[in-house]
Structure 1
């Protein structure tokens, strides 16, 4: 199978038309059409719906594999370059929002210091979105919520951090002061929580169920920073990781309570199970772990794994 065939299919998927794909590849439309047709003949399936210019279900499967193949080719080039000189190339890292705020600055500084010719691209998103990007080959590494059960991905623990309740001044929970609060007490109030099915929400609900409590929601928000911000602004109390409270934030009109019997949030580093990390990605992985061990000592409520 010629790699040009896969390149043509990827260009059609990105640009939607054969003519636009040809311009992107700096060739003529007939070449793109011929390459896609030969790929379809070789695989025995229609990959592009010519009427609308979009991929068929079979085409989407081939495109997913194409992204992985392209990633392996880029990694191979980076590996060879690194063996003949120093580490050079690109690395793409995904990270969930709250750790990104305090982990990325020292990580990027150390990566630049040790490997100045490695270019890092960072994606800030939710665990679910990062899993999709990682399994599709668009990311090399991802820092995300754990535990994660996925056939294509493998995770290693990175750190754990305490959960807290942010209670706006004026709310009944804030009147309790900065102390531990039980699930039985939380059951009496509506809370800002993550969406059902998210890793963090399942962890909180599981702990509540062990205390025979079902928490009530004021709103379900897919974003820790958004959840914390609404609590800071007085909309309602929220259960969030402790580092969602920025270190530069002056103590405002809210209280912070810990929850009795709620285990810490677990965060892990995920990579694809198949294939090898490129030299830049392996370097980034090692630096990320080293930086995490150093930074965790300075952040209350965070423990490096």
Structure 2
């Protein structure tokens, strides 16, 4: 029994006509008869009444299974073809700078391992700009540290992050526990559109303070720039816990965590929800989260 036999039988059962079945499949009526006879011989049962082209009782049973098997076979062929293709689909991914630097590469690797045919286009910017790109359908999916209120964007919590206070290599390691502990320092700050800036503002408010009240030594676009300036002794800084190993490797001093845990989100436009590629990315992100928690 093969796919061609089942396909001919299924069409014949649907059309109840040898001539219409032959026309639909682009084959001769004799080929239709031959395929049907071969299937009947293999199963040991008459499946179609030759006079009326109606299904026999056995034919009804075989028809039901044939439809299921044909669908499964076509789905399997489609899946195998996709696995064998290279770069035939594109997923446009946006990320704010912290996830874009510290865990998006791992998610992309997992996504590529599962779907090697997938081409990834990456856009790294602050959270507000990335969400704007998403709302304008210029990207399909994103990882950001700010929650969107847009009705066209769905948000899925991915990771809870703590915000660390770091000082230059010559700083002491006395922990900061109050806003007053920070007021004697100058800071290398992230720009206002970043998720880190907004999260630090929320954290400091619980200490009855704010970022504008702290002296500004420099404003930078990303965490790596901030680490370089703190390492050089320009000032103190606030960073994601994910960046803490890198900060310590540069000789920066860990001063403690702010009293606030922020969320990183997967953001997906509603128009991209049904995309197989977007689903693959979300699945890869969940795998990354599971693996990272074990490390």
Same fold (TM over 0.5): yes
TM-superposed deviation, 1:84: 6.3
Residue 166 (structure 2) aligns with? 166
Distance 1:178 1:251 in 2: 19
CA separation of 1:206 and 1:245: change in aligned 2, threshold 3 A: closer
Residue 277 (structure 1) aligns with? 274
Distance 1:129 1:82 in 2: 39
Listed as ranges, the matches of 1:39-188 within 5 Å are 85-86=78-79, 87=82, 89-170=89-170, 174-175=171-172, 177=173, 179-188=175-184
1:38-61 Cα shifts (integer Å, max 9, x gaps): xxxxxxxxxxxxxxxxxxxxxxxx
- Counterpart selection for 2:255 from 257, 261, 278: 257
TM-superposed deviation, 1:155: 0.9
1:62-118 Cα shifts (integer Å, max 9, x gaps): xxxxxxxxxxxxxxxxxxx98861256221111222323342343233222222222
Residue 235 (structure 2) aligns with? 236
CA separation of 1:220 and 1:83: change in aligned 2, threshold 3 A: farther
Q: Check conservation: 1:97, 1:225, Cα contact below 8 A.
A: no
SS in 1 for 2:202: helix
Residue 206 (structure 1) aligns with? 202
CA separation of 1:126 and 1:296: change in aligned 2, threshold 3 A: farther
Distance 1:218 1:212 in 2: 22
Q: Check conservation: 1:82, 1:279, Cα contact below 8 A.
A: no
CA separation of 1:287 and 1:194: change in aligned 2, threshold 3 A: same
List runs of 5+ in structure 1 lacking aligned partners: 1-80, 299-305
Distance 2:94 2:75 in 1: 23
List runs of 5+ in structure 2 lacking aligned partners: 1-73, 83-87
TM-superposed deviation, 1:236: 0.8
SS in 1 for 2:249: coil
SS in 1 for 2:133: helix
Residue 286 (structure 2) aligns with? 289
| Equivalent residues, number | 212
Q: Check conservation: 1:98, 1:225, Cα contact below 8 A.
A: no
CA separation of 1:129 and 1:168: change in aligned 2, threshold 3 A: same
Q: Check conservation: 1:152, 1:273, Cα contact below 8 A.
A: yes
Distance 2:104 2:229 in 1: 24
Larger radius of gyration: 2
SS in 2 for 1:266: strand
CA separation of 1:196 and 1:123: change in aligned 2, threshold 3 A: closer
SS in 2 for 1:150: coil
SS in 1 for 2:108: helix
Distance 1:199 1:98 in 2: 9
